[in-house]
Copies of this chain bind each other. A is one copy, B any other.
Amino acid sequence: MIINWKPNRDSDKSLYDQIYNYIINQISNGDWYIDSRLPSERKLAEAMEVNRSTISNVLDELKSEGVLISRGSKGTFVANNTWSILASTSQPNWKKYLDQGIHKPNQTTIQMINKYEFEDGMIRLGTGEISTDLFPTEYVNEIMSNITLNSLNYEEPLGYKPLREAICKYLSKFDIELKPEQVLIVSGSLQALSLISIGLLQPGSTVFVEKPSYLKSLHIFQSAGMKLKEILMDEDGIDLNDLRKKLNKSGTNMLYTIPTFHNPTGIVMNESKRKQLMEIIKEFQLPVIEDDAYADLWFSKAPPKPLKSMDDSGSVLYTGTLSKSFSPGLRIGWIAGSESVIERLGDIKMQTDYGSSSISQLIAFEWFDKGYHERYQIGLKSSLKSKCKLVLELLSTHFSDIAKWQKPNGGFYIWVTLKKDINMFKLFEDALKSKLLINPGYIYDFNENNSIRLSIAYATGSELEYGIRKLSEIIRKYY
């Protein structure tokens, strides 16, 4: 159990209330499991920098509410995380409604990141977006001035057909052959995951994820009542032995994987592993979500073909997006799979938001159809490649004695693991004070870890130079 948090002494809420809410939150958002043991009162007090008596009082209250349970000398445990118990702490009006919703709030750190990203002067060392100066302004303005809009009505359930056709054509480059009926346009691939979580899985299902995984940072599967189970990774991606072992034991389940330029580690699954994984998938009739957000972004050599290209049993739901290779603000992604599954997901999308922005879909169509996508990737990849080189240089200057990392061959991320354990939430906060926004590794992992996800994509060269040097200085203070 990680305590990457402490109360804010400038808040008008009491320390007691803040700690109470923090614990309720950790339990309800699934970060603290039923039956997991809390650190000792002394350790909690230390981590949160408060008196032990304050901790005592909060824990007593939570025990009396049945949220925590004391098992004598074994310690204090999480008793229950059902919303009913949480909701039973009598609340006025909306507060009650807030507490009882099915969807759980995002982790504190993620909420903080979402907000600080929009604060002036922040150096964003972890942001998974292309920097503004790489934006294809000219191309987009060309597209915009060539579109004549005569109407903008609701689209077909699966999305604008010419765009679906263009995506089929684009995917055939990856040896993925599809009909437009097998493609659903979504508002970013995050929405694809959200639709799958509510449309195909039932509460209690298990979703296997790589450890660490982008999915851990999302909470949508946990909110929908699914359990995430972590599968170990080595430097070629998911550990197949570990997967096989855990598969044998489980009921209904699904695998979520990012085989290419994995978020957050940057790892690429090699070809022979992909083949072996496909065999396991067939053997266990295991449904798989293959998230291929970074497919286009290789530096020198194209990665192996996607799992979907080898999928002759219809086991793979394949998601892609324009967010990483063009623009996240467009909110255009896609999900491809067998027709019946796509039809159902499309039906749910209609119920959820009546389809994605027509204007975004039109722009995306032009983007593919007029060849902008291909042309833009050339320049984008070479910029990313040279920024990656810069970051690697900066890392070896400032981090080689205190951390290790793997050199990426594409995508956005370098996963920097510190050699010594430090309080990562405190580091996150200290970095904020110096106007550095970092993505600490615990967002992507259920366990403590000492990693930081650096992104080569967002910050400018000089921001990276300043930021990485500064970050190393801050970290050294902990040593």
Q: How far is the CA of A202 from the CA of B83 in the complex (A)?
A: 9
Q: How far is the CA of A438 from the CA of B348 in the complex (A)?
A: 22
Write the A93-104 contact mask toward B (1 if CB under 8 angstroms, else 0): 111111011110
Q: How far is the CA of A285 from the CA of B92 in the complex (A)?
A: 9
User: Of B145, B205, B352, B360, which one neighbours A359 at CB under 8 angstroms?
Assistant: B360
A107-131: which residues lie under 8 A (CB-CB) from chain B? 111, 114-115, 117-118, 129
Taking the closest CB of chain B, its distance from the CB of A277, in whole angstroms, is 17
A201, CB-defined interface residue at 8 Å:
yes
Instruction: List B contacts of A272 (CB < 8 A).
Output: none
Q: List 9 A-B contacts (CB under 8 A).
A: A94-B287, A97-B254, A102-B201, A103-B348, A137-B151, A141-B149, A187-B353, A194-B353, A331-B358
Taking the closest CB of chain B, its distance from the CB of A367, in whole angstroms, is 11
Taking the closest CB of chain B, its distance from the CB of A137, in whole angstroms, is 6
Q: How far is the CA of A41 from the CA of B254 in the complex (A)?
A: 41
Given contacts A102-B224, A352-B190, contact A329 B358 (CB under 8 A): yes
Q: How far is the CA of A246 from the CA of B357 in the complex (A)?
A: 39
Instruction: List B contacts of A56 (CB < 8 A).
Output: none
A199, CB-defined interface residue at 8 Å:
yes
Instruction: List B contacts of A188 (CB < 8 A).
Output: 353-354
A26, CB-defined interface residue at 8 Å:
no
Q: How far is the CA of A363 from the CA of B145 in the complex (A)?
A: 14
Given contacts A93-B287, A147-B144, A352-B220, contact A153 B340 (CB under 8 A): no
Write the A224-237 contact mask toward B (1 if CB under 8 angstroms, else 0): 11000000000000
Given contacts A287-B93, A330-B357, contact A347 B106 (CB under 8 A): yes
Instruction: List B contacts of A137 (CB < 8 A).
Output: 148-151
Nearest first, the 3 A-B pairs at minimum CB distance are: A329-B358, A152-B329, A357-B357
A352-386: which residues lie under 8 A (CB-CB) from chain B? 352-360, 363
Given contacts A199-B101, A327-B153, A329-B155, contact A94 B194 (CB under 8 A): no
A132, CB-defined interface residue at 8 Å:
yes
A198, CB-defined interface residue at 8 Å:
yes
Given contacts A94-B338, A102-B198, contact A356 B357 (CB under 8 A): yes
Asked if residues B351 and A154 are in contact (CB atoms below 8 Å), the reply is: no
Asked if residues A350 and B114 are in contact (CB atoms below 8 Å), the reply is: yes
A171, CB-defined interface residue at 8 Å:
no
Asked if residues A153 and B141 are in contact (CB atoms below 8 Å), the reply is: no
Asked if residues A106 and B350 are in contact (CB atoms below 8 Å), the reply is: yes
Beyond A98-B340, A190-B352, 11 additional pairs, beta carbon < 8 A: A96-B252, A98-B199, A100-B202, A106-B347, A129-B154, A152-B327, A190-B354, A194-B353, A198-B223, A327-B358, A353-B353
